[in-house]
Amino acid sequence: MPREPQPITFTCSWCYKDVTENRMPGPTPAYCQTCAVEVKRSAAANRARRYRERQAEQDTTAWWQKRPRGRPRKL
């Protein structure tokens, strides 16, 4: 017996609107379908911004000031 989508009403965490969507049984979604795209874009932009900030921070130090990486060499 295959399950069918059921109407689920929830409040979107992004736009705070009450939304009714046909969904399969499972956890209640946090975002409506229109906001889900915007949330993914925003998360990707924030992730890229943090990455660029880290890269800029690393590039300002000279090679002799950087922390050594990996296993120490045997003498």
Say which residues have a Cβ less than 8 Å from residue 32's Cβ, sequence separation at least 6.
12, 14, 15, 17, 19, 21
* Domain ranges within the chain, ordered by starting residue: 6-58
Helix ranges restricted to H, 1-75: 33-59
Tell me the pLDDT band of 64, cut-offs 50, 70 and 90. low
- Extract the tokens encoding 51: 């990455």
Q: What is the tens place of the pLDDT at every residue in 11-63?
A: 999 999 999 999 999 999 999 999 999 999 999 999 999 999 988 877 666 66
